[in-house]
């Protein structure tokens, strides 16, 4: 490292940890390329919300008629929102923790687990923040085997080391859009060493058909060291407010409380999430629209002979003959932001968020001439 920081112990190590690369913001592309109309299909956001009811509640908080205004600190542990989540999940409120996005809870558990070192097992092609949270907390990453089409639970169990403290598993996984079967999930919950915390990240669970999805929360009674994560960023359409939640045993969550920043979730996010959580009709609408967009995408992809991976989540992984960063840049020039997946060990894959029909049309119009007759 250069400059005055180079002598600080630990900074050298920090400089080797990968940076999280977010989807490019619309304003940035407008500024850089001078384009007026941009379609963003890069961050698995929900194109349908938030609802008018959510916006009205946020406006009330801003106006100071709710939560006594923005000049006061929020409820530090978000008790009232936790209470609503607990009701919906049929759990005691002590089994719910909030985070500034579920990403903050990923960091909280890493901070707690790696206080004196240790390792995390993370399947290949997983959400980048698992590795980053592990390493910035002083932990070591052990990568278990997985392909773009299959998660290997046996290899997760085999990969565990003597110093392993955490296993992260996205269910469904981002960016591959695959989820494990209920039997595999139960096998993992029951056979993973008891002193390891299993983090099951269910950020996209609400896009699954209820009744057809093996919810890890159903296994909380079987394993005190299980943390199930959800977010309001996806189907609840609140990515901009940063709020997510974790479900776990009272013992585990009381320890997490020691690493949670006071007031970590703000007034606006708590209020908006309370309203969003009650709107099951909006959830069902988004789930239906997402399923329609997936079917349409698969049809279009088949016409272009594009190999598409993933049957879950609000995104698809598309394999092409071209290096993903090149295709990404070409699409950017045409006003379409997607996500190249080379940083996830998938050099020829683009991840495309399922947007509104008109946005998907813009995507296909932009990508078709670039595909040279087919993927
Ligand atoms: C698997 C997975 N977990 C967590 C997150 C982060 O969600 P949040 O916005 O709640 O931090 C994402 C975001 O894309 C994700 O894909």
* Residue spans in the chain of domains classed CATH 3.90.1150.10: 10-40+281-371
Euclidean distance between CA atoms 346 and 52, whole angstroms: 39
Instruction: List, for residues 100-116, the tens digit of each pLDDT value.
Output: 999 999 999 999 999 99
One-letter-per-residue 3-state SS of the chain: CCHHHCCCCCHHHHCCCCCCCCCCCHHHHHHHHCCCCCEECCCCCCCCCCCHHHHHHHHHHHHCCCCCCCCCCCCCCCHHHHHHHHHHHCCCHHHEEEECCHHHHHHHHHHHHCECECEEEEECCCCHHHHHHHHHCCCEEEEECECCCCECHHHHHHHCCCCEEEEEEECCCCCCCCCCCHHHHHHHHHHCCCCCEEEEECCCHHHCCCCCCCCHHHHHHHCCCEEEEEECCCCCCCHHHCCEEEEECHHHHHHHCCCCCCCCCCHHHHHHHHHHHHCHHHHHHHHHHHHHHHHHHHHHHHHCCCEEECCCCCEEEEECCCCHHHHHHHHHHCCEECEECHHHCCCCEEEEECCCHHHHHHHHHHHHHHHCCCC
Averaged pLDDT, 65-86: 91
360 Cα–ligand 1 center, Å: 22
Residues 309-367 have pLDDT tens digits of 988 999 999 999 989 999 999 999 999 999 999 999 999 999 999 999 999 999 999 99
| Predicted local confidence at residue 69, as pLDDT | 82
Whether residue 195 is predicted with pLDDT greater than 50 in this model: the reply is yes
pLDDT at 2 over 80: no
> Which of 143-147, 217-221, 368-372 is predicted with the least confidence, judged by mean pLDDT?
368-372
The sign of the CA dihedral 207, 39, 233, 80 is negative
User: What mean pLDDT value characterizes the chain?
Assistant: 95
Round to whole Å and give the CA distance between 177 and 171.
Answer: 9
Comparing 6-10, 153-157, 163-167, 239-243, which segment has the lowest mean pLDDT? 6-10
Answer for the pair 46, 314: CB distance below 8 angstroms, yes or no: yes
- pLDDT at residue 79 above 90? yes
- If we measure between CA atoms, which residue out of 244, 204, 274 comes closest to residue 105? 244
For the domain with range 52-278, which CATH number is right: 3.40.640.10, 3.90.1300.10, 3.30.1370.100, 3.60.9.10? 3.40.640.10
* Choices 3.90.1150.10, 3.40.50.2000, 3.30.565.10, 3.20.20.140: CATH for 10-40+281-371: 3.90.1150.10
Q: Which atom of ligand 1 is nearest to the CA of 170?
A: 1
From 103, 125, 168, the mutation candidate for ligand 1 (largest count of ligand atoms within 8 A of CB) is 103
Ligand 1 pocket mutation pick from 179, 229, 233 by most atoms within 8 angstroms of CB = 233
Q: Is the pLDDT of residue 68 over 80?
A: no
> In which residue ranges of the chain is CATH 3.40.640.10 found?
52-278
Give the span between the Cα atoms of 96 and 279, in whole angstroms: 20
pLDDT class of 8 with cuts at 50, 70, 90: confident
Report how far ligand 1's centroid is from the alpha carbon of 8 (Å).
32
Give the nearest ligand 1 atom to 175 CA: 16
On whether the pTM is more than 0.85, the answer is: yes
């Amino acid at each position: 490292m250069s400059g005055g920081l180079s002598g600080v112990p630990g900074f050298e190590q920090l400089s080797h940890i990968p940076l999280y690369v977010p989807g490019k913001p619309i304003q940035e592309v407008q500024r850089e390329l001078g384009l007026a109309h941009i379609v963003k299909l890069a961050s698995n956001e929900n194109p349908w919300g938030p609802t008018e009811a959510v916006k009205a509640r946020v406006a009330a908080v801003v106006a100071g008629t709710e939560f006594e205004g923005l000049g006061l600190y929020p409820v530090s542990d978000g008790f009232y929102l936790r209470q609503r989540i607990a009701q919906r999940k049929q759990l005691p409120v002590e089994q719910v923790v909030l985070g500034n996005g579920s990403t903050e809870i990923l960091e909280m558990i890493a901070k707690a687990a790696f206080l004196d070192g240790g390792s995390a097992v993370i399947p290949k092609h997983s959400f980048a923040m698992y590795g980053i949270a592990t390493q910035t907390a002083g932990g070591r990453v052990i990568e278990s085997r997985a392909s773009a089409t299959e998660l290997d639970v046996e290899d997760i169990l085999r990969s565990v080391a003597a110093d392993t403290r955490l296993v992260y598993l996205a269910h469904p996984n981002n960016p591959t859009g695959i989820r494990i079967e209920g039997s595999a999930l139960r096998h993992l919950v029951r056979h993973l060493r008891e002193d390891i915390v299993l983090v099951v990240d269910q950020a996209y669970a609400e896009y699954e058909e209820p009744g057809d999805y093996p919810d890890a929360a159903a296994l909380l009674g079987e394993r005190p060291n299980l943390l199930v994560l959800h977010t309001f960023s996806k189907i609840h359409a609140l990515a901009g407010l940063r709020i997510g939640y974790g479900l776990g045993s009272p013992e585990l969550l009381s320890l997490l409380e020691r690493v949670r920043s006071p007031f970590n979730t703000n007034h606006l996010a708590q209020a908006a999430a309370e309203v969003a959580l009650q709107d099951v009709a909006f959830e069902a609408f988004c789930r239906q629209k997402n399923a329609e967009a997936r079917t349409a995408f698969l049809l279009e992809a088949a016409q272009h002979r594009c190999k598409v991976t993933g049957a879950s989540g609000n995104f698809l992984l598309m394999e092409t003959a071209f290096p993903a960063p090149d295709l990404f840049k070409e699409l950017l020039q045409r006003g379409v932001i997607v996500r190249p997946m080379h940083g996830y060990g998938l050099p020829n894959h683009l991840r495309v968020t399922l947007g509104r029909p008109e946005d998907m049309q813009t995507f296909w119009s932009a990508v078709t001439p670039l595909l040279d007759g087919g993927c």
